[in-house]
Amino acid sequence: MASHIVGYPRMGPKRELKFALESFWDGKSSAEDLEKVAADLRASIWKQMSEAGIKYIPSNTFSYYDQVLDTTAMLGAVPDRYSWTGGEIGHSTYFSIARGNATVPAMEMTKWFDTNYHFIVPELSPATKFSYASHKAVSEYKEAKALGVDTVPVLVGPVSYLLLSKAAKGVEKSFSLLSLLDSILPIYKEVVTELKAAGASWIQFDEPTLVKDLAAHELAAFSSAYAALESALSGLNVLIETYFADVPAESYKTLTSLSGVTAYGFDLVRGTKTLELIKSAGIPSGKYLFAGVVDGRNIWADDLAASLSTLQSLEAVVGKDKLVVSTSCSLMHTAVDLVNETKLDSEIKSWLAFAAQKVVEVNALGKALAGLKDEAYFAANAAAQASRRSSPRVNNEEVQKAAAALKGSDHRRATPVSARLDAQQKKLNLPILPTTTIGSFPQTMDLRRVRREYKAKKISEEEYVSAIKEEISKVVKIQEELDIDVLVHGEPERNDMVEYFGEQLSGFAFTANGWVQSYGSRCVKPPIIYGDVSRPNPMTVFWSKMAQDMTPRPMKGMLTGPVTILNWSFVRNDQPRFETCYQIALAIKKEVEDLEAGGIQVIQIDEAALREGLPLRKSEHAFYLDWAVHSFRITNCGVQDTTQIHTHMCYSNFNDIIHSIINMDADVITIENSRSDEKLLSVFREGVTYGAGIGPGVYDIHSPRIPSTEEIADRVNKMLAVLDTNILWVNPDCGLKTRKYTEVKPALTNMVAAAKLIRTQLAAVL
């Protein structure tokens, strides 16, 4: 029985690619050095899968930034502002698109479906000129073949590419992105022709937009695209891969009717309804079913007995020789290798499987279907499953009762937001257009060393506290010198906004090397929520009070919200996600109340990932938004009217959930805006009334580019055209931890100058 992996993590078990990219960006290493690290990682990945017995091994899933940007490069779809003159796209153009440069901003970045991975959004227009400008897919296939590994080249499908794109600025609203289909298909044909000539026998097109709610004309585009590609694809086996959700019935019908397609890949972990659809509607005769039964988005060991049962039921539908065992999606959304976790609790470790272990699980299931079941391996897996179900570490009756008691109340603050803002202003006495930042300040090498040495017990707690206090003092002084109105302590004690809280909450476990790529070189190490969640002790009060004592200006207490902690963790799969979220909300509520009691007047509860968790199907939106927004309100429902509650959101499309954002009932929301071409402001132009404080980001912190005072002032003036002066805040898009002080100081200087300039202009008018 054959086996298949949709995709694999790129960063390497020790984040080798991250460090190679950052060294290259800093000018400390050459392009050749970067390419050597990348080639070694690719070779290791292909070898690992080959030795594990995987038949269908992917290539062209390795990327220096993301697979959509790679496709933009392949198609030569480079906006004019990057001054690309044609030919093969090199590192300079590629990374300028992704990160911006000294003179040109980066393209928009947004979340990849409902994951914490990001992609660079293509900007297209009727004038976009396409050309075959990156031969990466073919060169990587040849590279693997030279190593003795025959791979399945993976391309982002042409229709999904267009549906994930956006119209360039200034393009008529009537413009349809799908109208460009005939313009990009010739390049896809060139790529396919070269792959065939290189010896490829299979090709995988990722068309994940098929799981979304698509209109009839969008579904028709899939039929048109693959009919047009059919002659070029002749002689190749063609797999169309979907993931992250159920495929709707109409989309399933379209998919299984596509011309020239040999195989269909489905996520059967998050797509349980698709499983029933396969059984009821069937698969066209002679076609392959790539059954994604091993979860590519979580770290729990597969229940092999349950997956084997599912696969056996599918054999009756497609036949033994046409069934391929697969992962539910790319394994890039999980950690790399459990072998590297030498300090993880042994019982919890027995419940887990990272990417390397999932490859083994896929192959074991394939062998079991072929009658070569490894009884010892299956028995060990069954024992681990039973251990997890019965472990007393998982369940806490007191926590479960407290969460159950939440039913029956909406946990909304009693006083309307307008009255609360008045009470807060009397206490805080802020100017119009108050300035602030989102929370974190640059994480220097020295700061990282201090945290690392403290964790390794190389320095004492007293030395650690002294070093962090010194860093907080530096950050406070910088903000006071810049004349920022509401300060932050810079979060020097935190490596990660979720990991920091998870380390202090019960029910969480942590890895040493469980890194997952978020975008570019940015990696996160998600906590593992294995049991019921509670807060044994205060988590941030000590540092927040210390920082507030250093300044007469308001100091924000900085917390991560329950929905973001949930969505940025590997979450237990033995109870509904909303139950876990309510438990986290109760833990954060205790922290909020302790901060208030400690004299903190402004408390920010970040919900950066609330939009990210929105289900891909509209029919599921209302239920998710109800419990997600409710969870946020639980955290702060008990504070006084004079305590100002902030929240922050970033790098998603918020326009379609603006009413739920209003329903969160925060006093102030800071929200990403600048990198997405101020798309957020359109909802206010279209008549949405927002009465709470709001700070749409005035500059993009994911680019090293420093915006001018005039540029920021222009952005603020655009905001004032649709928002009242007395509710508008001025702030960056997101936290500053990934930037350098040489970038942060001038950018914030210009931001404050812009706010003061407009205050002066407004005062002159009055």
Return the domain boundaries, the chain: 2-80+88-97+133-169+183-390
Q: In whole angstroms, give the CA distance from residue 392 to residue 569.
A: 21
- Token pair of 308 as six digits: 């084997």
What local confidence, expressed as pLDDT, does residue 575 receive? Answer: 95
158 close to 185: Cβ distance less than 8 angstroms: yes
Question: CA dist 609 to 370, 497, 605, 668, 764, Å?
Answer: 42, 12, 12, 17, 40
Protein fold of 2-80+88-97+133-169+183-390: TIM Barrel (3.20.20)
Binding residues: 18, 116, 438-440, 491, 522-523, 568, 606, 648, 650, 659, 672, 734
Q: Amino acid identity of 603?
A: I
Supply the residues annotated as catalytic. Answer: 702
pLDDT along the chain (766 residues), means of 10: 93 94 96 97 97 97 96 97 96 95 90 93 97 98 98 98 95 95 98 98 98 97 98 97 97 97 98 94 96 97 98 94 97 96 93 98 97 97 96 94 88 95 97 96 92 93 96 97 97 87 94 92 93 96 97 97 96 96 97 98 95 92 96 96 94 76 94 71 76 91 90 94 92 92 96 97 86
What local confidence, expressed as pLDDT, does residue 204 receive? Answer: 98
Per the rule left: phi > 0, alpha: psi between -120 and 50, beta: everything else, 659 is alpha
**Residue 444 burial by Cβ neighbours in a 10 Å radius (0-12, 13-18, 19+):** middle
What local confidence, expressed as pLDDT, does residue 655 receive? Answer: 76
What local confidence, expressed as pLDDT, does residue 700 receive? Answer: 87
Closest-CA residue to 327 (of 693, 58, 118, 634)? 58
Specify the 3-state DSSP secondary structure of 389.
helix
The model's pTM: 0.92
pLDDT tens by residue, 60-116: 999 999 999 999 999 999 999 999 999 999 999 999 999 998 889 899 998 899 998
Binding residues for L-homocysteine: 438-440, 606
Q: How many other C-beta atoms are found inside a 10 Å radius of the C-beta of residue 728?
A: 20
Interacting residues of 331 by C-beta distance below 8 A, sequence separation 6+: 5, 6, 7, 8, 9, 296, 355, 358, 359
HEC string of 700-761?
CCCCCCCCCHHHHHHHHHHHHCCCCHHHECECCCCCCCCCCHHHHHHHHHHHHHHHHHHHHH
Which residues lie across from 524 on neighbouring strands? 516
Q: In whole angstroms, give the CA distance from residue 423 to residue 417.
A: 10
Q: How many other C-beta atoms are found inside a 10 Å radius of the C-beta of residue 600?
A: 23
- Helices of type H across 178-240: 181-198, 216-233
Q: Amino acid identity of 179?
A: S
Binding residues for 5-methyltetrahydropteroyltri-L-glutamate: 18, 116, 522-523, 568
Q: In whole angstroms, give the CA distance from residue 300 to residue 334.
A: 10
Closest-CA residue to 507 (of 602, 428, 396)? 396
Establish how many alpha carbons lie within 13 A of residue 62's alpha carbon, considering only the half-sphere containing its beta carbon.
28
Tokens 């098929």 belong to 210
Please report which helix (H) or strand (E) contains residue 591, including its range. Answer: helix 577-597
Residues in the chain: 766
662 close to 621: Cβ distance less than 8 angstroms: no
Q: In whole angstroms, give the CA distance from residue 716 to residue 703.
A: 19
What local confidence, expressed as pLDDT, does residue 232 receive? Answer: 97
- Give first-to-last CA distance, the chain, whole Å: 77
Specify the 3-state DSSP secondary structure of 30.
coil
Q: Amino acid identity of 176?
A: S
Closest-CA residue to 62 (of 39, 29, 32)? 39
What local confidence, expressed as pLDDT, does residue 651 receive? Answer: 57
Q: In whole angstroms, give the CA distance from residue 359 to residue 227.
A: 34
What local confidence, expressed as pLDDT, does residue 653 receive? Answer: 67
What local confidence, expressed as pLDDT, does residue 6 receive? Answer: 97
Binding residues for Zn(2+): 648, 650, 659, 672, 734
What local confidence, expressed as pLDDT, does residue 652 receive? Answer: 60
Tokens 């939440």 belong to 406
**Residue 160 burial by Cβ neighbours in a 10 Å radius (0-12, 13-18, 19+):** buried
Binding residues for L-methionine: 438-440, 491, 606
What local confidence, expressed as pLDDT, does residue 408 receive? Answer: 79
